[in-house]
């Protein structure tokens, strides 16, 4: 492996999905690597929405408390190496290149491996090499057959809000999807789930936990006394703790309290020492790009990775903070997502919509097709030729009418436009 870019090409050259769901190939690879995951302790996080933010807050608290914390998340927004971090530092390019070079012969020996399986294996190797005290591990897709589920029972299993997404893989009902997510629940773990969990999903979580003799902990959202909420975040009091959540939106309150309870379980049952100050500073210091992120003030431009109806509902609530300012949205989606469901929720918030095609992504929905869906809902919509053109048009209109630009629909779109805005 001559350099970092060649290593990345090798990673991205793996298949996106395997022929059949299962963990056999992942287990074979881990055995060849000496099972580095068995040397680590985990908080395992599954769910439809809120996983990334919750993981970032848990990691922030534990790092502030003085622990060496691995963080594994997906997808990335700017740099591929965001997916594998230790104490907030991305895996160095040289280290990633060396790991890919070391693992490559074993990957070839196993044969049918997916890109996500390879990346997960790289993460386990790096976290073990770095002697992490604990790893916050985000599930990629589902839970039961996800590559991350090759681990033994985590110390804490977390399930964030469950909604309809990836229905072609996970099932087309909340209950079916919840059963896949609950595949991470294993005897011996503590379980924490969202205080705003769907009632049908919660029934499945409780049933699975009961069968495995596990207790389910849920934050009490009503116990959170909200002090102040703005685009800069929310100040609240929970269990006597004065917390500042620097991520905007009511849904981030739920994510923060889920993180709070997950860390509390570590402290109560596994001897982790986490002070009140560490909890406050850990949450207050979290940064998570692409989630109601303000990237420009003139005109006000917000990026949010809402790409399914559940995420769109959270975005709709958060947009109420704009107090009626006219919104021009830029949206690009993947064709396997419920774009109509997203549009139905968000259309009342937008004055107009500029649709773009995520060129280079084989799963992209054509911008003209998305605009036709929006037109059918009575939304003033048009299609732009490129991401840059869509952004420029939206910002031009927003400046003229003192409005706001909101970019949403796919994290791939958010990533692309964030890079353009930061370069400016």
Whether 19 and 168 share a structural domain: yes
Question: Is 166 in the same domain as 139?
Answer: yes
| Shared domain check, 141 and 162 | yes
| Together in a domain, 225 and 359 | no
260 and 400 assigned to the same domain: no
pLDDT of residue 57: 97
Query: The CATH number of the domain where 404 resides is what?
Result: 3.90.190.20
* Residue 152 lies in domain: 4-284
Question: Tens digit of pLDDT for each residue in 363-420?
Answer: 889 999 999 999 998 889 999 988 899 999 999 999 999 999 999 988 888 888 888 8
pLDDT of 168 strictly over 70? no
Q: Two tokens at 224?
A: 């959170």
Per-residue pLDDT averaged across 97-122, rounded? 94
Last residue of a domain, one of 284, 313, 345: 284
- Give the pLDDT score at 46: 95
C-alpha dist (Å) from residue 30 to 102, 130, 239, 352, 366: 13, 17, 41, 50, 40
Q: Is 308 in the same domain as 240?
A: no
Examine the pLDDT at 48 and tell me if it is beyond 80: yes
Handedness of CA 319, 323, 324, 330 (dihedral sign): negative
Q: What is the number of structural domains in the chain?
A: 2
Q: Check whether residue 110 and residue 26 sit in a common domain.
A: yes
Per-residue confidence (pLDDT) for residue 364, from 0 to 100: 87
pLDDT score for 136: 98
Q: What whole-number distance in Å separates Cα of residue 382 and Cα of residue 216?
A: 47
Q: Is 298 helix (H, G, I), strand (E, B) or coil?
A: coil
Beta carbons within 8 Å of 290's beta carbon, 6+ residues apart: 77, 303, 304, 305, 411, 414, 415, 418
**Which of 284, 315, 345 is the endpoint of a domain?**
284
Q: What is the mean pLDDT of residues 239-268?
A: 93
If asked whether residues 256 and 305 sit together in one domain, one would say no
| Helix/strand/coil for 412 | helix
Q: Judge if 14 and 46 occupy the same domain.
A: yes
Q: Which of 241, 266, 284 is the last residue before a domain boundary?
A: 284
128: domain CATH number is 3.40.1190.10
In the predicted model, is pLDDT for residue 25 greater than 90?
yes
Shared domain check, 148 and 22 = yes
pLDDT tens digits, 179-215: 999 999 999 999 999 998 999 999 999 999 999 999 9
Q: What angle do CA 183, 184, 189 make, to 5 degrees?
A: 130
Residues 148 and 271 in one domain: yes
Q: How confident is the model at residue 223 (pLDDT cuts 50, 70, 90)?
A: confident
Helices (H), 187-308: 199-211, 251-270, 276-284
Q: Do residue 234 and residue 297 come from a single domain?
A: no
0.85 exceeded by pTM = yes
Determine the Cα–Cα distance for residues 424 and 401; give it in Å rounded to an integer: 22
């Amino acid at each position: 492996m001559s350099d970092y870019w060649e290593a990345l090409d090798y990673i991205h050259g793996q298949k996106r999905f395997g022929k059949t769901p299962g963990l056999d190939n992942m287990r074979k690879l881990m055995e060849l690597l000496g099972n580095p995951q068995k040397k680590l302790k985990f908080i395992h996080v599954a769910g439809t929405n809120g996983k990334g933010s919750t993981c970032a807050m848990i990691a922030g608290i534990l790092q502030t408390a003085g622990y060496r914390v691995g963080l594994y998340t997906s997808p990335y927004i700017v740099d591929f190496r965001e997916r594998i971090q230790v104490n907030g530092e991305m895996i160095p390019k040289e280290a990633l290149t060396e790991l890919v070079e070391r693992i490559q012969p074993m990957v070839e020996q196993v044969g049918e491996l997916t890109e996500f399986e390879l990346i997960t294996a790289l993460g386990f190797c790096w976290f073990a090499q770095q002697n992490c005290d604990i790893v916050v591990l985000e599930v990629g897709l589902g839970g039961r057959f996800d590559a991350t589920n090759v681990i033994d029972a985590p110390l804490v299993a977390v399930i964030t809000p469950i909604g309809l997404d990836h229905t072609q893989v996970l099932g087309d009902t909340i209950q079916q999807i919840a059963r896949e997510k609950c595949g991470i629940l294993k005897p011996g773990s503590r379980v924490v789930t969202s205080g705003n969990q769907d009632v049908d999903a919660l029934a499945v979580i409780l049933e699975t936990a009961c069968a495995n003799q596990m207790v389910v902990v849920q934050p009490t959202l009503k116990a959170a006394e909200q002090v102040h909420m703005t685009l800069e975040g929310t100040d609240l009091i929970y269990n006597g703790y004065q917390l500042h959540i620097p991520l905007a939106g009511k849904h981030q309150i739920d994510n923060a309290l889920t993180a709070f309870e997950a860390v509390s379980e570590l402290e109560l049952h596994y001897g982790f020492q986490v002070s009140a100050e560490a909890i406050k500073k850990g949450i207050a210091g979290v940064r998570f790009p692409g989630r109601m992120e303000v990237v420009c003030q003139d005109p006000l431009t917000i990026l949010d990775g809402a790409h399914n109806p559940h995420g769109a509902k959270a975005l709709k609530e958060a947009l109420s903070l704009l107090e009626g300012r006219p919104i021009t949205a830029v949206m690009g989606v993947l064709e396997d997502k419920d774009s109509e469901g997203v549009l139905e929720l968000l259309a009342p918030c937008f004055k107009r919509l500029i649709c773009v095609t995520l060129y280079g992504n084989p799963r992209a929905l054509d911008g003209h097709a998305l605009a036709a869906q929006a037109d059918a809902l009575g939304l003033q919509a048009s299609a732009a030729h490129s991401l840059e053109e869509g952004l420029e048009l939206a910002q031009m209109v927003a400046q003229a009418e003192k409005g706001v630009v909101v970019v949403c629909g796919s994290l791939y779109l958010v990533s692309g436009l964030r890079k353009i805005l930061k370069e400016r």
